[in-house]
Amino acid sequence: MRSRSYGVPASVVQSAVLAAALSAFLGLFLTGITQAADTPIKIVTLGDSLSVGHNLPANAAFPVRLERALRAKGYVVEVTNAGVSGDTAAGGLARLDWSVPDDAAAVIVELGANDMLRGFDPKVTQRALEEIVRRLTERRIAVLIAGMRAMPNLGINFANGFEPIYPELASKYDALLYPFFLDGVAGDAKLNQRDGLHPTAAGVDVIVGGILPKVEELIARVRRGS
């Protein structure tokens, strides 16, 4: 006579336990994927008054407008304003460690305009910018260098020493380059404030529109981990 027992056969119980465990694992795995997809890519703009939003409402500053433009295209990002008005390349270097937190994935380096306006030796500017890019690269942070052009009144010799700094650093450290941060804005009275140097809100929008494809490349590098 076949023995009888109360309850469910052991094989059935084991199958149910395994199914429940698998379901829980898949749930946690999928939750992790969702959370990863929702985690913003953190981009820091390390710059001067051109990116900080000099004399503009807070919502018109370059980092704010850039974040808005990226989010409109579906990117989950946070763009932090780490600009300081009047800052030089050396000033940016001096505050680099606390201006760019450990969770930053990418940095837009927008420095050098004040060095140029003050007529600093381009070699001094280059050394500071190179140290910034080198240290960010060592930290495995993706870098986009925003270039600057020399004012015509400074002469051709100064321009020849200053303007190549940006493409040379981008090439040396495999960083992305946007050749001229004020492209489409410099020299246009309608897009500049009365000082003729700082962009208006409309000028900031032109800058954002110009640099946006390079920032998308920057995000792609972050996603690839390179």
Q: Which residues form the catalytic set?
A: 49, 195, 198
The pair of three-digit structure tokens given for residue 159, joined into one six-digit string: 């321009």
The edge-to-edge listing of strands for the beta sheet with 41-47 is 77-81, 41-47, 106-110, 142-146, 176-178
Q: In sequence order, which residues have a C-beta less than 8 Å from that of residue 218 and are 6 or more positions away?
A: 43, 106, 108, 142, 144, 176
The pair of three-digit structure tokens given for residue 44, joined into one six-digit string: 């820091």
Q: Which amino acid is at 102?
A: D
From residue 50, alpha-carbon distances to 18, 82, 88, 123, 161 in Å are: 60, 12, 12, 22, 22
